[in-house]
Structure 1
Amino acid sequence: MALVNGGTMQNQISVATFRRLTPAMVESQRLAMANDIVATTKAEVAITLKKAAPALGIEGTTYHILDILLGLTKADDWKQDRRPLVAISNEKLADYVGRSTRTVARSLKKLVEAGILAYRDSPTGRRFIYRNEVSGDIDRGFGLDFSPARQRIKELQGIADAFSAELKAKQEAKRNVTRLSRAIADLLAVAALEGLRLEEHEAELSVILASAIPNDLKADRLSQLYEAIVAAFGTNEAAAEGEATAAESETSFEEMSGAPDTDVTPYNITTPQNSKKSNERPSPNVDDFKSKKAYGFYKAPEKEHLRKSGATDRTRSSAEPPKAKPSVPPNADGTSPLLSEVSIGLINTATRETQDILGGAFRSWGDLMGRTSELRLLVGLSEAGWRGACSRVGQHLAAAVLVTTAEKALRDPDQLARPAGYFLACIDRAVDGKLALHRSLFGLAQG
């Protein structure tokens, strides 16, 4: 028996006869009929699904559809005595994502087989929801059920954490390969200058870098090669020190064994010179010193060469960093001047839907900025895009624009098909001084 919104009971989740069920789809239907409903929230499930989506193979159009469906669910429908149901037609979803209805149907099937959704089909195939006018609960409804995702929340969190750890390990191994390969190349260059022959190590470096083995194994092999080259340098230095010690010993032995010959008359040939002239140094000619030639002699030779060849200007121009994008200078307290009419209270009043997903209001600006990682996931914004926005307009203004974008995407997903692109466009307008964020927030508060 499965609980349905409004307190009614139903012994099965109906599936239309035209659907060809697979074992994965049957498992999702079984999860949707579970009696031991797992306690969770819409925000927890939404963030977990977006983190686990890459590990589940959900991307592109399927991910876009998942994002829309999550936004259409009500936060109260995720309670244990209710059912998170979405009633939207394939045709409407096709309009939202700009794809055909067949593509939408395949994406929905993929979400069902991934254990996220379950079909709850009506006899006519229509999807609709009737709510109680007083309580707002679903009295009767057919559509797409998120109950499987709710039941698997702990499993999905484990999948997301494992995927994140694996991704970090791969990135770290890739960085190690780059770091070690550069260090080895530098050592080989120094060895060539010192006349140390390390052709075998150089060939091994090429073999390792060209191999198709995983980066973690490649980093281990490069680490061993690096240690071998360092050991070769140590052996070469020890041999050089041994040769120097032997030469010094031989010289000392010759000096100690050779007796002074007192009978030999010293034979010195000297050329008499004028002592006065020999002690005098030629003084530079004043005219020569003032000439360009003499002045050029006292300048640094490498700078003179660069000046003559014209390389100085070229080097300076190539060394100049690219011009940074314009930014909005902050006030003395670190806030943006564009936030003069925006308060945390106004943001709380205007972002009810976002607060329902995140599970609470924003107590302060610090609290808002502490939830930006969750807000980024809600709008699909990359970490690089967030950092770039903060560098251009500051963290406070970027956070305010981000939460406003999330609220607009949740309220009207069909009008905001790409929330991340909208956010970046707002940042550009803020840089140009054309962003009226307070007007958007007042409109959301009144709407």
Structure 2
Amino acid sequence: MESGSVTTPFGRRSVTLGMLASQAAARKIEPGQSIDKWKLYRALCEARPLLGITDRALAILNALLSFYPKAELSEDNGLIVFPSNAQLSLRAHGMAEQTIRRHLSTLIEAGLLIRKDSPNGKRYARKEQGGELREAFGFSLAPLLVRAEEIERLAAEVVAERMHLQRLRERLTLCRRDVAKLIEMALEEGAAGDWSTIHLHFRNVVEQLPRSPSAEQIAATLDELEMLREEILNQLEMQAKTHNPSGNAQQSERHIQNSNPQSITELEPSFEPKQGAPADDRSAGRDEPTARVLKDEGKSEPVSGARAASTANTALKSFPLGLVLQACPEIMAYGPQGSIGTWRDLMAAAVVVRSMLGVSPSAYEEACDIMGAENAATVIACVLERAGHINSAGGYLRDLTRRAERGEFAIGPMLLALARTNSPIRGKTG
């Protein structure tokens, strides 16, 4: 049986306040308290991350529990086990004695064992004439009995966290599948929108997730993908509604093209009327893409390259400078005095960045002619932000310029995707 006095370790091992606290707590065992030792051990295995012990230390504890003669830990049966290191090594699958001593120290420091050393440091027990143990020297399992409720509570927390993480992973997998298949369907069906930019944003969100993410990281990625899925669904549902047949074919065509210019899912190219145009001309400009207008005009007179560029220029929507800087903060370092306060500053920074990215002057001048100086500077800022994912900035800019000239490119999706990525608060825009 254990004595109620404080015990100090044998040899050069010093006593610590933690040891005294563990011994004081071990004397608070309630009368008649008992617990199944293997049930408690399973809870210890679950709670291991919160207790700060290793799997090797648990293997040693398993060996110690195997030397306890009863299935139930209780003070009435005694709580001291006294196997030698050689016996422990046999039951710990041949673990080296030096390793055993190190993990025993870990269990003691974690407050799961108490060392009760004999006068000579050996582990043994004295028995009464009737065979009952009178006194034993070894390791006390009393802290396990005292902390049984705490250990089971910690184990329940670990299990709950693991289940929460598993549910988040399942939701993330389903959301990733939904977004991937919706984008694939949009591309196969030829739905209007800059789906390559949307797919690039989707891949960026997915690839930013580490190999072993925490629950917080998965939740943040899940929120962003759910927002993206909702935007894609809104865009596709809007297009599906606009393609419903009506009584007048001409009205149906206008209904398809006349989308809400303030919609957050601004995935289709934006076509704006020329300034000063009559009301009927503005309506027609919204109803039909610029490419179709140019084609119709070409029936009566040839269309010059400058006129086509001017039309694409007015068709490309520009965005506020604040939104551009929020989406593309990297370019601010290249502005005059290391900051950007006006569009003139942004265009000056774009010239510096253009040279740094290896974009030829002719490619940038063509982009300015087709898109406009402000929009070309905005595109350069976006290219700088995504420079690590673009092999040839010059070729990429020329491709965007050609698409803008045909009325097939809008800056909005690229800018909004970067704004969401660089926003300090990941919330749904709009």
How does the TM-score come out when normalised to structure 1?
Answer: 0.49
Which residue number in structure 2 is paired with residue 355 of structure 1?
none
Which residue number in structure 2 is paired with residue 241 of structure 1?
244
Is 1:89 matched with 2:110? no
Which residue number in structure 2 is paired with residue 218 of structure 1?
221
- Residue number among 114, 118, 126 corresponding to 2:114 in the alignment: 118
Post-superposition offset of 1:174: 1.5
Look up the equivalent residue of 1:106 and give its one-letter code.
R
- Residue number among 196, 199, 214 corresponding to 1:199 in the alignment: 196
SS at match of 1:172: helix
Which residue number in structure 2 is paired with residue 27 of structure 1?
21
Change in Cα spacing, 1:241 to 1:147, as seen in structure 2 (3 Å) is same
Which residue number in structure 2 is paired with residue 127 of structure 1?
123
SS at match of 1:11: coil
Change in Cα spacing, 1:42 to 1:226, as seen in structure 2 (3 Å) is same
8 Å CA contact 1:131, 1:140 repeated in 2:
yes
Change in Cα spacing, 1:235 to 1:24, as seen in structure 2 (3 Å) is farther
Which residue number in structure 1 is paired with residue 156 of structure 2?
161
8 Å CA contact 2:46, 2:155 repeated in 1:
yes
Q: Name the CA distance, whole Å, in 1 between partners of 2:121 and 2:115.
A: 11
Is 1:231 matched with 2:206? no
Which residue number in structure 2 is paired with residue 333 of structure 1?
none
Post-superposition offset of 1:60: 3.1
Is 1:182 matched with 2:184? no
The Cα offsets for residues 40-82 of structure 1, whole Å up to 9 and x where unpaired, read as 2234433332332343233332121111111211227732445
**Alignment length (residue pairs):** 243
8 Å CA contact 1:38, 1:150 repeated in 2:
no
SS at match of 2:50: coil
Q: Name the CA distance, whole Å, in 2 between partners of 1:77 and 1:130.
A: 22
Post-superposition offset of 1:238: 2.1
What root-mean-square deviation, in Å, do the aligned CA atoms of Structure 1 and Structure 2 show? 2.7
Q: Name the CA distance, whole Å, in 1 between partners of 2:225 and 2:242.
A: 26
Q: Name the CA distance, whole Å, in 1 between partners of 2:157 and 2:32.
A: 22
The Cα offsets for residues 364-400 of structure 1, whole Å up to 9 and x where unpaired, read as xxxxxxxxxxxxxxxxxxxxxxxxxxxxxxxxxxxxx
8 Å CA contact 2:64, 2:88 repeated in 1:
no
Post-superposition offset of 1:103: 1.1
Post-superposition offset of 1:132: 4.3
SS at match of 1:78: strand
Change in Cα spacing, 1:49 to 1:137, as seen in structure 2 (3 Å) is farther
5+ residue gaps in structure 2? 210-215, 254-430
Post-superposition offset of 1:37: 5.4
Look up the equivalent residue of 1:214 and give its one-letter code.
Q
Select between 84-93 and 112-121 the one with higher mean Cα deviation. 84-93
Q: Name the CA distance, whole Å, in 2 between partners of 1:143 and 1:158.
A: 28
Look up the equivalent residue of 1:239 and give its one-letter code.
T
Post-superposition offset of 1:26: 3.6
Post-superposition offset of 1:143: 0.4
Post-superposition offset of 1:171: 1.4
Change in Cα spacing, 1:76 to 1:165, as seen in structure 2 (3 Å) is closer
SS at match of 2:244: helix
Which residue number in structure 1 is paired with residue 103 of structure 2?
107
Is 1:72 matched with 2:67? yes
8 Å CA contact 1:77, 1:84 repeated in 2:
no
Q: Name the CA distance, whole Å, in 1 between partners of 2:176 and 2:147.
A: 43
Q: Name the CA distance, whole Å, in 2 between partners of 1:45 and 1:81.
A: 18
Change in Cα spacing, 1:203 to 1:95, as seen in structure 2 (3 Å) is same
Change in Cα spacing, 1:222 to 1:79, as seen in structure 2 (3 Å) is same
SS at match of 1:53: helix
8 Å CA contact 1:16, 1:122 repeated in 2:
yes
8 Å CA contact 1:16, 1:123 repeated in 2:
yes
Q: Name the CA distance, whole Å, in 2 between partners of 1:250 and 1:52.
A: 64
8 Å CA contact 2:126, 2:135 repeated in 1:
yes
SS at match of 2:243: helix
5+ residue gaps in structure 1? 252-447
How does the TM-score come out when normalised to structure 2?
Answer: 0.51
Post-superposition offset of 1:109: 1.1
Which residue number in structure 2 is paired with residue 151 of structure 1?
146
State the structure with bigger RCO (CA 8 A, min sep 6), 1 or 2: 1
Q: Name the CA distance, whole Å, in 1 between partners of 2:44 and 2:106.
A: 14
